[in-house]
A = this chain, B = another copy of it.
Amino acid sequence: MIKCSYCQEVSGIRKTGKIRGKQRFFCKYCNRHFTTGKNQEETVATQKDGITIKDIAAEVGVSISTVSRALNGSKEIHSATKEMILRKVEELDYQQHYIATSLVRKQTFTIGIIVPELKTDFYANLISGANEILRPKGYKIFAMQSDESFEHEIANTNALIASRVDGIIASTTFETKGFAHFERAKEKKIPVVFFSRINNVVDAPKIVVDNYMGAKMATEHLIERGYGKLGFLGGSDNLHIGNLRFQGFMDTLDKHGIKSQEKWIIRTDQLLSDPHRIILELLREKDRPDAVFTMTDTIGIHLIKCARTLKIDIPNELGLIGFSDYIVSQYISPSLSTMRQPTREIGMEAASRLLKAIANKNDKNYRDNTTTVLMPELVTRESTDRVKNRSRAGTPSRQQ
């Protein structure tokens, strides 16, 4: 790197202090001192793209190895040298090149999160929760959205693999049929953690809320409030989550020896595409349920609006409880009882588990495919408050 300006020798050069701001060297072959510094020709070509450690090394008069040591807190460096280097780094506004570092370190400090939709409250909160764990550890987040499209999910996964992320957190789409893309990631030593919409195919940590217990708690709540003709509204049964919630509902009825009617139980995806028609049909029955458990708050909110249209009094003529604690649920009138999901905690837990998997990536005895089950929390509001209507306060989160 440093060449003696007399004999052109490159080895046997040692630095010997400074003179007028320039580093002074000693060549043991010609036994003479010399200095480095840009000459005129070099100064012309100064318009570079960015400062590299090579520049720092040249300016300070050390090798790039030494600069690297200074930058990475190595012990094998003299404190004075380190100081000089760090001062020059400051002066030239050097910024580490993570790309180059990642290439040799084989670690990018990047993790990818794939969700069906970025703007949904649930997923935004989840990413935020994961960020709380990941940011302090120096990880950056690739936020990707699959738009409920299997193809996009695969494309996203491949992009993350190509970007050599250190790990992936994912919730699959409704239409996800295969998991080869995730298996590919795992083959390439990229740990994966699933949440919410999980599967039994890929060997990976999974985080879910207890949908079955949540449904039981919701149903118990309706019964406890004195409702007895219970209905269920949900999507079709191709979604694992839906099945669990439905099962919890049915089992609770059984437990209490309550019989529901077939027409009070609606499980169809039309509830997502054309909710009002389906709901109004149910509510116009002469013999309608006196309380309904909806698979999601979204459906519950639709139901509230339909009830408003038909002038049905919630909670007195009709009790209602949802699932998820959608942000709107506390503000709608009547406010909607629901099972709150610990969204932020799911994100944090997923991130923690992922970090653990990353740390043990090379230990082939390590294997974590356990499913963490977080318990949802019953939130009682006006829609099941049969005795008297209380108004409850809630604080909207800050907005723009």
A contact set with B: CB distance below 8 Å: 49-50, 93, 95-100, 102-103, 106, 108, 110, 117-125, 127-128, 131, 135, 140-145, 158-159, 161-164, 184, 187-189, 196, 272, 296-298, 301-302, 305, 308-309, 324, 326-328, 331-333, 341, 391, 393, 396-400
Contacts and interface: CB of A to CB of B under 8 A. Distances in A.
A341 B140 contact: no
A120 B324 contact: no
Contacts of A144: 140-141
Contacts of A341: 400
B399 A305 contact: no
Contacts of A393: 305
Nearest to A100: B103
8 shortest interchain CB distances as A-B pairs: A333-B333, A143-B143, A124-B124, A122-B400, A119-B128, A331-B332, A328-B331, A118-B128
A320 to B, nearest CB: 14
B99 A164 contact: yes
- Copies of this chain held together in the complex: 2
Contact of A399 (B122, B189, B399): B122
A159 B98 CA distance: 9
Contacts of A103: 99-100, 103
B399 A120 contact: yes
A118 B124 CA distance: 6
A106 B332 contact: no
A140 B140 contact: no
30 contacts: A50-B188, A95-B162, A96-B162, A97-B162, A98-B162, A98-B163, A99-B99, A99-B108, A99-B163, A100-B103, A118-B128, A119-B121, A120-B398, A121-B399, A122-B399, A122-B400, A140-B142, A142-B143, A196-B400, A296-B400, A297-B399, A298-B397, A301-B331, A305-B393, A326-B399, A327-B327, A327-B328, A332-B332, A332-B333, A341-B400
A184 B305 CA distance: 52
A140 B121 contact: no
Given A99-B103, A144-B140, A331-B331, A400 B189 contact: no
Q: Which one of A141, A159, A331 has the highest number of Cβ atoms from chain B below 10 Å of its Cβ?
A: A331
A396 B143 CA distance: 23
A145 B128 contact: yes
A297 B397 CA distance: 11
A127 B128 CA distance: 13
A310 to B, nearest CB: 12
A302 B324 CA distance: 23
A131 B159 contact: no
Nearest to A131: B145
Given A120-B398, A297-B396, 11 more contacts: A93-B184, A97-B164, A99-B164, A117-B397, A119-B121, A128-B145, A140-B142, A140-B144, A143-B143, A324-B399, A332-B332
Contacts of A159: 140
